[in-house]
Copies of this chain bind each other. A is one copy, B any other.
Amino acid sequence: MYEDRIRHPGLLSKIMSADEAAKLFHNGMRVGMSGFTRAGDAKALPRALAERALQDPLSLTLITGASLGNGSDGLMAEAGVLARRMPFQVDPVLRGKINDGEVMFIDQHLSETAEQLRSGNLAAVDIAVIEATAITAAGAIIPTMSVGNSAAFAQQATQVIIEINLSTPLALEGLHDIYIPQTLPGREPIPLTRVDQRLGSTAIAIDPARIAAIVITDSPDSPSNALPPDAETQAIAGHVIAFLQGEVAAGRMGPELLPLQAGIGTIANAVLHGLIGSPFSNMTMYSEVLQDSAIELLDSGQLAFASASSITLSAAVHQKLMDNIDHYRSKIVLRPQEISNHPEIVRRLGIIALNTALEFDIYGNVNSTHVCGTHMMNGIGGSGDFARNGQVSMFVSKSAAKGGRISSVVPMVSHVDHTEHDVDVLVTEWGYADLRGLAPRERAPLIIERCTHPDYRAQLRAYYDAACQRGGHTPHILQEALSWHTRYQETQSMLAAQ
């Protein structure tokens, strides 16, 4: 059995249980695992490592593509497996331990991890754990619903553990394009010039002798937890479309726009969903993740092709994709995240970057990661890769949170992930502020009037007016710049007492 999944005959003997494979790990090892936006993550080993650690303590550095599903990060964190974790996570249990200082979390641009491993800026991984739909006759790994950093991990690790996931159709073969940039010095350009271009192979080639274990699983990916569009996200989508229509009208792009990137999550998904029925046609995506909206846009005929590093869908849309995989495989390619997010490619293609802000300030600085400046939410993800190098960098957010007690627009962000230099357009349900070519003192009134929740506009105007009295290119009152956050900590609301 499994000959269709493990086509290299010498590897059948490597099949073992996850518990047996978990014995290959030793304290202090550096582990690279597949998984990106909870897609294509290893399902059995994280659980087996957590269970083993309860008996036989185990402390590892875990590097992934991005977030894992199935509560895996939480299980491993709870069992003390995770001494260090990078470059991204979304798990509530792990998040708690990061914020308690128990787990050392390194929050990285998603394009950079593989490059840093290869250059030695990060120490190499010892073991790779990669979910696969099959292993070819040559021993190459056919990934599942994400590529992430799997190719970099598999090529670098001394030992490779493969989880064959029987729930993934063999017809995924051909969906992936595995291309790894050359190493320094003297490397050539990455020859990608079109979103639908294929540069490499359909599987991750490695020496089969390094495959130390094969574990059989059949658990599906965790389904997307993006919420359906609501009135506010629909309004945000409307403003994004209005901005893009302006770009087309000004001749800065055609009706096919430029290749679109959209971050993970409810708002970005809703914005893309809002493009269905928009006046744009023959669009393309060059993104890190495809959510339901991307599949719906392909179905509407408005999206011609989608390139990403992972696919994260609701159960229903996932089923549709699987039932019609031969159709979709001609319209989708999954790449290593160092290619999907590569600064060289993002700049060359002229991406429209759409990412979600936790908060932004009156000068256009964006906080994507830290609640009240201290507590990590998920991580910067790929937002910086796209915002810095894209042709147009948009950040979207609802203008308020916690029933209006938090304003997403503040005098000074409590943590900066994207500086004013990298932010072109800010959008909330109230409108958009086009900051291109504007000085800080021009941005502030625009952001206050166009993007801020009406309950907070007078309060922001008062801050800005008082700050201007003190002068400066970027006026601030340092004693009050973070007072909205401390007021929230003290009174559970950013609203000033009347």
Contacts and interface: CB of A to CB of B under 8 A. Distances in A.
Interface of A: 84, 86, 98-101, 104-109, 116, 119-123, 184-191, 193-194, 250-253, 258, 342-344, 347-350, 365, 370, 372-376, 380, 384, 388-389, 391-392, 412, 414-421, 424, 436-439, 441-442, 467-468, 470-476, 478-479, 481-482, 485-486, 489
Nearest to A346: B343
Given A258-B184, A374-B474, A417 B421 contact: yes
Copies in the complex: 2
B187 A437 contact: no
Contacts of A475: 101, 374
A101 B441 contact: yes
B350 A184 contact: yes
Contacts of A101: 441, 468, 471, 473, 475
A88 B468 CA distance: 22
Given A122-B437, A375-B473, 6 more contacts: A104-B441, A342-B347, A344-B348, A370-B472, A373-B412, A376-B472
A415 B472 CA distance: 12
29 contacts: A99-B472, A99-B473, A101-B475, A104-B439, A104-B441, A106-B438, A109-B421, A120-B251, A121-B392, A122-B436, A184-B253, A184-B350, A185-B349, A189-B193, A189-B344, A343-B347, A344-B344, A370-B472, A373-B412, A373-B472, A374-B471, A380-B421, A384-B419, A384-B421, A414-B476, A415-B474, A479-B482, A479-B486, A481-B482
A228 B423 CA distance: 38
B193 A414 contact: no
A105 B420 CA distance: 13
Contact of A193 (B107, B188, B442, B470): B188
Contact of A391 (B100, B121, B474): B121
Main secondary structure of the interface of A (DSSP, over half): loop
Contact of A482 (B187, B473, B482): B482
Contacts of A421: 107-109, 380, 384, 417
Contact of A373 (B191, B471, B476): B476
A127 B424 CA distance: 25
Contact of A189 (B105, B189, B388, B485): B189
Residue of A104, A258, A344, A414 ringed by the most chain B CB atoms within 10 A: A344
B473 A350 contact: no
Given A389-B343, A421-B384, A437-B121, A370 B416 contact: no
Contacts of A99: 471-473
A364 B253 CA distance: 38
Nearest to A365: B416
A260 to B, nearest CB: 13
Contact of A252 (B121, B258, B439, B441): B121
